[in-house]
Amino acid sequence: MSEIPVWALFVILALLIACSAFFSSSETAMMALNRYRLKNLAENGHRSAKLASRLLERPDRLLGVILLGNNLVNLSAASISTIAALRLYGEPAIAVFTFILTLVILIFAEVAPKTLAMRHPEGIAYPASYVLVVLLWLLYPLVWIINLFANQFLRLFNSNAQLNKDALNKDELRTVVREAESLIPKSHHDMLMGILDLERITVEDIMVPRNAIEGIDLEDEWDEILEQLATSHHTRLPVFKGNIDNVIGVLHLRRAIHALQMDNLDREKLLKFLRPAYFVPVDTPVMQQLLIMQKEHHRLGLAVDEYGDLQGMVTMDEILEEIVGEFTTQAVGEAPDVHEKSDGSYMVYGMASIRDVNRNMGWELPIDGPKTFNGLILERLEDIPQTGTTLLIDNYPVEVVQTKGGAVRMVRIFPRVETNVDEMMTAD
């Protein structure tokens, strides 16, 4: 070593630092690779991806060869630095050279390479995989010994060295889809989010409330029933006697349309066309309900609570609209739930669904409690409000415009305000 010129020692030192930077960057890049993109590329024949995927199958071996190489070059660099210090300035310079070498390694062999690898993992990991495969083959005996002791030590913590291959859970998958919004069409993104949200919502969240159910009351006058059949915008109608709680079946208009056209439809024939009503619990997850209705060929279900009382109605259309968005138009003569005013506020019907309004307007009103604006306001105020009452709901100023029969019929909602105050404000 004494015959080697000092300048050559510094050249060797620079090469060792470069090797250390290679090992540091390759370690970070390999661990930062997107596993799903890597798997896709490997399945499509990408050679570098195949090598990287094979290395990641045994992370203990991969880390073993990287850390073995990194420690060897760092220790060698320290030795070279010591020799250079002794030859130039003697023993007092060893401490100074050690400090300088530490800074150089931290900057040029650790922080900078690893930062670069985090930003461009594929650009570094794929070329490095060729070198790492060769090094693993050459140093395999040493790597095997190191991993033997390391794995024995890990057993004390009931762990193994295998890469965690657990699939994404629902929340993680939802996050992935949300972050991919800019990469796919908005309609496709909304559909994917709708499918994922089916696991989080229940029949109660999307059902038509009982007071909004359109059905046939057999105790009505026959002329009224015929007019209702002729003008109905729905193909399936629940049939009841006197009260919606007394449902006796469901009528598919297609089965009665011929008799209606021939003018020979009567109450007796109408009863023959009925199908048994299908009841579902209100707390059933929508995804589960979709699968059940698909399997049993139901298009309409009556939602009941734990006491068997009718709470609403759910159809296949409502479930599909949660996925693809609204594809049905408003019924003739039926006003939309939201009216925009010239001052930027919105008039909203009290019985409008909060979920539907949030989805259509891009609002973020709470949906974990009451399902309608009437229920939400009554819950916040704990009383039936008077006309003109105002309150702040999640930073949305809300004014009660009309009340009738103990319920809020119409509210005015103003754009969300930027404030941390979230309390009720009642006007005189």
Cβ-contact 54, 63 below 8 angstroms:
no
What angle, 0 to 180 degrees and rounded to 10, lies between the N-to-C axes of helices 222-231 and 253-261? 110
Kindly state whether residue 396 falls inside one of the protein's structural domains. Answer: yes
Q: Dihedral through CA 77, CA 78, CA 82, CA 84, nearest 10?
A: 20
Residue 93 corresponds to which amino acid? A
Beta bridge partners of 241: 243
**What is the residue-wise DSSP string for 381-423?**
HSSPPPTT-EEEETTEEEEEEEEETTEEEEEEEPPPP--S---
Kindly state whether residue 330 falls inside one of the protein's structural domains. Answer: no
Beta strands 208-209 and 310-315: pairing type?
Answer: antiparallel
Long-range contacts at 73-79 (CB < 8 A, ≥ 24 apart): 73/16, 73/17, 73/19, 73/20, 73/23, 74/16, 74/20, 74/105, 74/109, 76/16, 77/13, 77/16, 77/17, 77/20, 77/101, 77/105
What does the alpha-carbon distance between residue 381 and residue 403 come to, in Å, rounded to a whole number?
14
Q: 362 and 300, same structural domain?
A: no
pLDDT band, residue 428 (cuts 50/70/90): very low
Q: 137 and 10, same structural domain?
A: yes
Domain count, the chain: 3
The sheet with strand 236-241 has its strands ordered as 216-217, 236-241, 243-252, 274-275
Return the pLDDT at 173: 76
pLDDT band, residue 159 (cuts 50/70/90): low
Distances from the Cα of 224 to the Cα of 217, 219, 227, 228, 230, angstroms? 10, 10, 5, 6, 10
Domain containing residue 383: CATH number: 3.30.465.10
Q: Is the pLDDT of residue 19 over 90?
A: yes
Return the pLDDT at 103: 92
What does the alpha-carbon distance between residue 289 and residue 367 come to, in Å, rounded to a whole number?
20
Q: Is the pLDDT of residue 114 over 60?
A: yes
Higher-pLDDT residue of 174 and 422 is 174
**What values do phi and psi take at 65, rounded to 5?**
-70, -35
Q: Which of 301, 324, 347 finishes a domain?
A: 324
Q: 235 and 100, same structural domain?
A: no
Q: Where are the alpha helices (DSSP H) in 218-281?
A: 222-231, 253-261, 267-272
Q: 378 and 274, same structural domain?
A: no
Kindly state whether residue 176 falls inside one of the protein's structural domains. Answer: no
Range of the structural domain that residue 135 is part of: 6-157
Higher-pLDDT residue of 400 and 336 is 400
Domain containing residue 247: CATH number: 3.10.580.10
Q: Is the pLDDT of residue 426 over 60?
A: no
Q: 356 and 304, same structural domain?
A: no
Q: 360 and 286, same structural domain?
A: no
Kindly state whether residue 420 falls inside one of the protein's structural domains. Answer: no
Q: 140 and 42, same structural domain?
A: yes
Q: 70 and 24, same structural domain?
A: yes
Beta bridge partners of 208: 313
Q: 344 and 234, same structural domain?
A: no
Q: Which of 324, 359, 390 finishes a domain?
A: 324
Kindly state whether residue 358 falls inside one of the protein's structural domains. Answer: yes
Q: 393 and 302, same structural domain?
A: no
Kindly state whether residue 187 falls inside one of the protein's structural domains. Answer: no
What's the pLDDT tens digit per position in 99-109?
998 899 999 98
What does the alpha-carbon distance between residue 330 and residue 165 come to, in Å, rounded to a whole number?
48
Q: 208 and 148, same structural domain?
A: no
Q: Is the pTM of this model over 0.85?
A: no
Return the pLDDT at 107: 92
Kindly state whether residue 106 falls inside one of the protein's structural domains. Answer: yes
Q: Which two tokens stand for residue 16?
A: 């060792």
Cβ-contact 240, 247 below 8 angstroms:
yes
pLDDT band, residue 16 (cuts 50/70/90): very high
What's the pLDDT tens digit per position in 130-155?
999 999 899 888 888 888 888 788 77
Kindly state whether residue 332 falls inside one of the protein's structural domains. Answer: no
Q: 296 and 357, same structural domain?
A: no
pLDDT band, residue 419 (cuts 50/70/90): low
